[in-house]
Chain A
Amino acid sequence: MGIGKVESSDAELVGRVRAGDISAYGALVARYRDRLGRYAVHMIGDREDAEEALQDSFVRAYRSLGRCTDPARFGAWLYGILVNRCRTTGARAARRRRVFVAADEFDRATPNGPDELERLEWADLVERALARLGPEYREAFLLKHVEDLEYEEMAEVTGAGVSALKMRVKRAREQLQKLLTEARHV
């Protein structure tokens, strides 16, 4: 599954926005909110920063909609803006702190039984392992395996070459295996 062909009516919605219909942009935001939000949360590691980056990306995309030369591929174009925004936020957040989503979930909810506790512990392990990857590896891994982008789409979104991206994904997989295997034996 890619990001170019799934949303066949993106072009139509972009056309309505360009004609002055702001509600059509609301439909685009609703369409991409959860998917892009998931990427931002995992990439940045802090929910508040991630939602701020996401909101900012949507606003920037609207203000620059005249620069979206292929409205049918609005999703890919939007990903490019968010990826860039996450890089900036991620670099800032890394210097400050990193709040883990799963740890945040621990704080907000009392685990309901051993299964729920195990799920939260696993989620916490995954988030911590992901956080230990270099940002370029984390970015490539998330785009490929979680967001299901093709390598050509990833190249378009990140500005990196396909072979470099393949190498990053491979290294990310190896590092995650190593980190999680070690963590489970502690």
Chain B
Amino acid sequence: MSDGDELVERVIEQLRRPVGIDPALDARVLREIAADARPEAALRAKPRMIWPWLAVAAVLAAVIVARPWARRDVAGETPFQFVLVAPQAASVSLVGDFNDWDPNRAPMQVAHGVWAAVVQLPPGRYRYAFLVNGVEWRSDPTAPHASDDEFGTPSSVVTVTGGGT
């Protein structure tokens, strides 16, 4: 082993030492998530088998992101309407950075198989997805794919500019 390699091995040995993270961090995390009071459905994984009718719905599904309305409200937020065509779905929620990916905060309303929700968004870049029947994650095929999504499930991106888009 060269002197340089020995030096790097000493560096690695040093960096592997425990750094003493505050054990109270555990309690802080639990306190924060307990405050969420999230329902069981929000935490369920995908089912092992997707119902055939859901697959059919997936083929038929198309997403239309409505253009923001022309007006802006007094707080500088822009109302965005998100729309998903999913006639076989029992429920659809809009989840994203703007609502902490909480399915309860933006349940979508359905009319003739078309699900819609309006969200007030201040200027910024937001990742979002649709949660169908509480278990199936779908990105928005008509919007840019969120390549920086670290969760490993599909999501899309919407950008709200200061002057509206």
Contacts and interface: CB of A to CB of B under 8 A. Distances in A.
B43 A81 contact: no
A2 interface: no
Contacts of B42: 66
Given A64-B101, A81-B150, A33 B25 contact: yes
Given A22-B34, A63-B36, A66-B45, A55 B25 contact: yes
A146 B11 CA distance: 9
Interface in B112-165: 131, 135, 137, 148, 150-153
A42 B7 contact: no
Nearest to A80: B150
A37 B38 CA distance: 26
Contact of B26 (A18, A30, A77): A30
Interface stretch (B13-21, B53-61, B62-70, B84-92): B13-21
A37 B40 contact: no
Nearest to B28: A55
A59 B12 contact: no
B22 interface: yes
Interface residues of A, number: 49
A59 B7 contact: no
A41 B19 contact: yes
Contact of B152 (A30, A47, A77, A123): A77
A22 B39 CA distance: 12
Interface residues of B, number: 41
A131 to B, nearest CB: 12
B100 interface: yes
Nearest to A62: B33
B4 interface: yes
A180 interface: yes
Given A18-B43, A63-B101, A66-B45, A33 B26 contact: yes
B8 A173 contact: yes
Contact of A63 (B11, B18, B102): B102
A64 B7 CA distance: 41
A59 B101 contact: no
Contact of A130 (B15, B28, B135): B15
Nearest to B103: A66
Contact of A69 (B8, B10, B12, B46): B46
Nearest to B21: A37
A113 interface: no
Interface of A: 17-20, 22, 25-26, 29-30, 33-34, 37-38, 41-42, 47, 51, 54-55, 58-59, 62-69, 71, 77, 80-81, 83-84, 101, 122-123, 126, 129-130, 142, 145-146, 173, 176-177, 180-181
16 contacts: A33-B21, A38-B18, A38-B21, A51-B25, A54-B25, A63-B101, A65-B43, A66-B131, A69-B153, A80-B151, A145-B8, A145-B12, A146-B16, A176-B8, A176-B11, A177-B8
